C-alpha cells in the first residue's frame, strides 16, 4: 500500500505567528512553512515567551507536521564580501535559535552566492558558515515524525537546491552532495524545489526527464537525504537559470508532471510544501486543492 502523501503551504505570519497555523488549516494542509521574522531585513524583533508558547500550543493542537522555517532572503552563506559574510553568519545563527524556540523540525536555507569567487571556494565558505552558526547549540537531527519535534535541539538544516541564477551555488545535485559530505557531523539534509530543479536543467516535466532526474539524485545525494519538497511550477523554461514560481499546472512543468511526482514511490514519503504565487485569481487554497486532486 502506498504511503499517504502530505501536502502543505508556506503560511504568512502577518498578525502573529499563530495566525500561520489557522491559515494552514483553512486550506486543508497537513504541514507548513513560515518565515520566523521579516524575511527582507537584517533586524529581527525578539520573540516573546508568550507568543512562542501560544504558537507551539496552537500548532500541537492542529497536529501539523512538519514545520519548516525558511531562512531570510538576505543571508548569503557563501559570500565573498567579509562584511556580508559576517552579517549572514550572525543572522543564520539567530535563525537557528529562533527556529528551535518555535519547535521547528526543519530550517531551510539556500547555500548562497559565491560572487566572483569560484564554486569550490563558495562551497567551502558555505560549509564553514554552517559550522560556525551551529557551534555550541547542541543541534541534533529531527526525528522522522514526532508530536513534539523541535525540542532539545531536534531540528535539521535543509539545504535547498537553487535555480542557478547569477553565481549561486547548489543548482547542481553534485554540489549539494558535496556540501552534505563536508557537513557529515551536522544534521544537514536536502530541500528539493521543483521549480529550481527544472530551471537549473533537470527536466522533470516529462516522464523520461523525471527518470533521468531520479537517476541523478540516486547518483548524488540520494533520496534518503530529501526531507522536504518545495512544490512549485515554473514561469521560466527549462535550463533558464531563472527562479520564478507559478501556480501548479500553469507553468512550464505542467500538471501531468506533478501527478507523476505525487505518485512516484521515490517522492511519496516526502512532504510537499507549496510556495506558489498569491494573486487576484488564485492563492494557496486553489493550489493545495489542485495538488490534492493530482495526488488522488
Question: Which residues are known to be catalytic?
Answer: 40, 70, 73, 110, 160, 193, 196, 230, 243, 245, 275
Q: Where are the beta strands (DSSP E) in the chain?
A: 7-10, 31-34, 67-70, 106-109, 156-160, 188-193, 226-231, 233-234, 245-246, 272-274
Going by C-alpha positions, the residue among 294, 245, 276 that lies closest to residue 285 is 276
Whether the CB-CB separation of 31 and 8 falls below 8 Å is answered with yes
SS3 of the chain: helix, strand, coil, percent, to 5: 40, 15, 45
Using alpha carbons only, what angle is made at residue 195 by residues 216 and 263, rounded to the nearest 5 degrees? 65
Between helices 284-295 and 255-263, what is the axis angle to 10°? 60
Whether the CB-CB separation of 104 and 11 falls below 8 Å is answered with no
Residue 172, helix vs strand vs coil: coil
Whether the CB-CB separation of 33 and 273 falls below 8 Å is answered with yes
Between helices 82-102 and 119-134, what is the axis angle to 10°? 40
Whether the CB-CB separation of 88 and 76 falls below 8 Å is answered with yes
Amino acid at each position: 500500500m502506498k504511503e499517504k502523501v502530505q501536502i502543505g503551504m508556506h503560511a504568512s505570519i502577518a498578525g502573529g505567528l499563530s495566525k500561520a497555523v489557522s491559515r494552514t488549516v483553512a486550506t486543508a494542509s497537513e504541514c507548513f512553512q513560515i518565515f520566523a521574522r521579516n524575511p527582507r531585513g537584517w533586524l529581527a524583533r525578539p520573540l516573546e515567551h508568550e507568543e512562542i508558547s501560544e504558537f507551539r500550543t496552537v500548532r500541537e493542537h492542529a497536529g501539523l507536521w512538519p514545520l519548516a522555517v525558511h531562512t531570510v532572503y538576505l543571508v548569503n552563506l557563501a559570500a565573498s564580501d567579509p562584511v556580508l559574510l559576517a552579517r549572514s553568519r550572525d543572522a543564520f545563527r539567530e535563525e537557528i535559535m529562533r527556529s528551535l524556540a518555535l519547535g521547528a523540525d526543519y530550517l531551510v536555507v539556500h547555500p548562497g552566492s559565491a560572487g566572483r569567487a569560484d564554486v569550490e571556494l563558495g562551497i567551502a565558505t558555505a560549509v564553514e558558515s554552517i559550522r560556525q552558526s551551529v557551534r555550541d547549540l547542541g543541534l541534533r537531527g529531527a526525528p522522522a515524525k514526532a508530536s513534539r519535534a523541535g525540542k532539545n535541539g531536534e531540528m535539521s538544516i535543509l539545504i535547498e537546491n537553487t535555480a542557478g541564477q547569477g553565481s549561486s551555488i547548489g543548482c547542481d545535485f553534485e554540489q549539494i552532495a558535496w556540501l552534505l559530505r563536508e557537513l557529515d557531523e551536522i544534521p544537514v539534509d536536502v530541500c528539493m524545489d521543483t521549480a529550481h530543479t527544472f530551471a537549473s536543467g533537470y527536466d522533470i516535466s516529462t516522464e523520461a526527464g523525471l527518470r533521468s532526474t531520479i537517476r541523478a539524485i540516486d547518483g548524488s545525494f540520494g533520496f534518503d537525504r530529501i526531507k522536504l519538497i518545495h512544490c512549485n511550477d515554473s514561469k521560466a523554461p527549462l535550463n533558464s537559470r531563472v527562479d520564478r514560481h507559478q501556480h501548479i499546472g500553469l507553468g512550464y512543468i505542467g500538471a501531468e508532471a506533478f501527478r507523476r511526482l505525487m505518485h512516484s514511490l521515490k517522492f511519496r514519503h516526502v512532504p510537499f510544501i507549496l510556495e506558489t504565487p498569491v494573486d487576484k485569481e488564485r492563492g494557496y487554497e486553489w493550489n493545495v486543492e489542485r495538488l490534492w486532486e493530482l495526488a488522488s
